[in-house]
Chain A
Amino acid sequence: MSETHHTHDGVKPGRESGRYARRIRAIEALLVEKGVLTNEDVRSQIEYMEARSPANGARLVARAWVDPEFKARLLSDTKAAARELGIDASGPVEFVVVENTPSVHNLIVCTLCSCYPRAILGRPPDWYKSFNYRSRAVKEPRAVMREFGFEPPENVEVLVHDSTADMRYMVLPMRPPGTQEMGEEELAELVTRDSLIGVSVPRRAGS
C-alpha cells in the first residue's frame, strides 16, 4: 500500500501530514473554492476552539463550591452561569450540569460519537473518543473508573449519562474534604478535566 509511505516534503510546521489530515485539507479547499466557507470562517472557528479549555469548567465548579446561589444557577441555566464568569457558551447545543452527591456519582460518555461540552471545555481528550471508552463506560463504568484510579463505594449509585442527542453534559464534582480554608482560585486548581467527565474526582494535594 503506497498510501502508508507518504513523504513529509513540503509540509508546513504544525500541519499534520496523515492521510485524513490531507483529505480534510482537500475538502476545506473545495468548500472555500465553492464559497461555502471562507478562510476567515475556518480561522475564527479554530481560534474559538483553542480558546476553550478545562480551566473554564474548573472555574465554574470552584465558584459553585463557594457560592450556593451560583451553584443553583449553574445547575438550572448553565449558559447564563457561564456568561457570568465571562465564558461564552452560546450556541445551538444545550448544557446540563449533573451534580455528584454523597449517594450519586455521575459519569459522562457519548457512545455514538464524541459529543462533549466543547463550547466550555474545548476538545475532548483522545481516550474519550476511543472505542474502548465509549463501549465500556456504559457497560462496566466501575471498572473504567478503577483504571483511572477512582473507585466509588458500593453504596454510591453510579449514574452514566450517554450524550445521545442535543444535550452536552458536565459533572459538578463534590468539594474534597479538608479544603475549607482554600479560596476560589486554589479550589479551581483541584478540578481536573477527568473529574468534569466523571472518571475521577478532585483531590486535595497529598490526599
Chain B
Amino acid sequence: MTPRFEPGDRVRVLPEDKQGHVRTPGYIRGKTGRVESVLGEFRNPETLAYGDSGLPERPLYKVSFRQADLWEGYPGPADDELCADIYEHWLEPTPEETA
C-alpha cells in the first residue's frame, strides 16, 4: 500500500468507539495532529490479535499532537507535545484539506 499521508500533513484520528484489541487509545480519538514520519508497514494488530493474518499490511505513522489540544487545562507550557503511532485506517485528512 502506498502511504496516503506524508510528513507535515494535518490529520484527524477517527472518533470511532471501537472495542477489542485496538491500538488507538481513546484520548486521541477525534483529535487533530500532524504526521511526523511514516514508520513502515505492519500487519494489522486489530485482526492479528484474533488469529487472522493481519494482512494486508497497513502503513503506520508517527503523529504528534499539542498537549493543549488533548487535555483541557493541560498543566504545562504550550510547546509540550505527545506522539503516538497510528495505523492509516484510523486517520483522515483534516476537513480544511478535503475542502
By the criterion CB–CB under 8 Å, are B60 and A157 in contact? no
Question: What 0/1 pattern do residues 35 to 69 of B give for CB contact below 8 A with A?
Answer: 00001101001000000000000001010100100
What count of chain B residues pass the 8 Å CB interface test? Answer: 27
By the criterion CB–CB under 8 Å, are B87 and A161 in contact? no
CB distance from B96 to the nearest CB of A (A): 25
Interface residues on A, range: 20 to 34
Residues A165 and B80 in contact in the complex (CB < 8 Å), given A140-B75, A143-B75? no
Beyond the given pairs A112-B23, A139-B70, 15 more chain A to chain B contacts, judged by CB atoms under 8 angstroms and listed by A's residue number, are A111-B25, A138-B70, A138-B82, A139-B71, A141-B80, A142-B76, A154-B77, A158-B67, A162-B25, A162-B85, A163-B85, A164-B25, A164-B84, A165-B23, A165-B45
Residues A167 and B39 in contact in the complex (CB < 8 Å), given A159-B83, A160-B82? yes
The answer, yes or no, to whether A147 is at the interface (CB within 8 Å) is: no
Task: Provide the bound-state CA to CA distance between A10 and B28, in Å.
Answer: 49
CB distance from A30 to the nearest CB of B (A): 17
Which of A94, A139, A166 is packed against the most chain B CB atoms within 10 Å? Answer: A166
Interface residue from A154, A155, A162, A167 paired with B82 (Cβ < 8 Å):
A162
The answer, yes or no, to whether B94 is at the interface (CB within 8 Å) is: no
Binding site for A on B (CB under 8 A): 23-25, 27, 39-40, 42, 45, 60, 62, 64, 67, 70-71, 74-77, 79-87
Interface of A is mostly: mixed
CB distance from A58 to the nearest CB of B (A): 24
Interface residue from B62, B64, B76, B86 paired with A158 (Cβ < 8 Å):
B76
Task: Provide the bound-state CA to CA distance between A167 and B39, in Å.
Answer: 8
Interface residue from B27, B39, B45 paired with A138 (Cβ < 8 Å):
B27
Q: 3 closest A-B pairs (Cβ-Cβ)?
A: A165-B85, A160-B82, A157-B79
Binding site for B on A (CB under 8 A): 94, 111-112, 138-143, 154-155, 157-167
CB distance from A45 to the nearest CB of B (A): 20
Interface residue from A140, A162, A166 paired with B83 (Cβ < 8 Å):
A162
Q: Which residues of chain A have C-beta atoms less than 8 A from B77's C-beta?
A: 154-155, 157-158
Q: Which residues of chain A have C-beta atoms less than 8 A from B24's C-beta?
A: 164
Task: Provide the bound-state CA to CA distance between A167 and B38, in Å.
Answer: 12
CB distance from A188 to the nearest CB of B (A): 28
Of all chain B residues, the one with the shortest Cβ separation from A163 is B85
Task: Provide the bound-state CA to CA distance between A182 and B49, in Å.
Answer: 47
Q: Which residues of chain B have C-beta atoms less than 8 A from A158's C-beta?
A: 67, 76-77, 80-81
By the criterion CB–CB under 8 Å, are A160 and B45 in contact? no
Q: Which residues of chain B have C-beta atoms less than 8 A from A143's C-beta?
A: 75
Task: Provide the bound-state CA to CA distance between A140 and B71, in Å.
Answer: 9
By the criterion CB–CB under 8 Å, are A159 and B81 in contact? yes
Residues A165 and B83 in contact in the complex (CB < 8 Å), given A94-B40, A139-B71, A142-B76? no
